[in-house]
Amino acid sequence: MSPAAAGHTGPPGAKQRLAAAMEELWIALFAWVPTPVGLALRLLAWRWLFARCGSVRFGTGLTLAGCRQMRLGDNVRLGRGCFVTATDGTLVLDHDVALSPCVHVGADAGRIEIGAHTAVGPGTVIRAANHRIARQDVPIMRQGHVPGQIIIEEDVWIGANCVITPDVRIGRGAVVGAGAVVTRNVAPFTIVGGVPAKVIGMRGTAAPQGGVAHPQH
């Protein structure tokens, strides 16, 4: 079993640290170039960093790490200020996935898959791993992580400022209301909201009270 699979990775070697530093520097060189020129430059300069990179629209001010563990499909949009990482993990964004500004997708030490035609609202956090907390004699931040996975199927709409916790599956066509905290699986075509998220409606029926915040692209 690999260290990542066991849930706690050892310190990176010199080559890994150098590669990560070079990746960070290369990303920083183009991260804030404005206008359509910046969009074109980022795609041209960054696409070789990834395991796969289709026709991606990279917004300004992105934080990216572990790009070699990411597969990005065609027409993927990463909004300004997004934080997207997959160090010691795997991230798959299928075609036509839209992350609104300031979305945090952390596949570090885990796996995240987001299906085609899915929209994620601004400020949402999607993280595939949790901190270990069992030991009281070691600071939590030193105990490593418990790996997990998150599967978001196609045509899902996630509103603003949601939290998606590890080891959940959000079914095809589901809607997650703004501010929801998803801690368990969501069935296809259901509408969920609240903390923790619970079913508040079904697609094709009357809209739930309060509605759902529209994701911003």
The SS3 assignment for 162 reads coil
Whole-number Cα distances in Å, 67 to 36, 121, 138, 168: 23, 22, 31, 23
Per the omega criterion (within 30 degrees of 0), is the bond before 196 cis?
yes
Helix (H) or strand (E) holding 18: helix 14-30
The SS3 assignment for 186 reads strand
Distance CA 65, CA 85 (A): 5
104 is a catalytic site residue: no
Helix (H) or strand (E) holding 22: helix 14-30
Given 95, 131, 145, 217, which residue is catalytic? 131
- The distance in angstroms from the start CA to the end CA of the chain is 40
Distance CA 18, CA 177 (A): 41
The SS3 assignment for 123 reads coil
Catalytic residues: 131
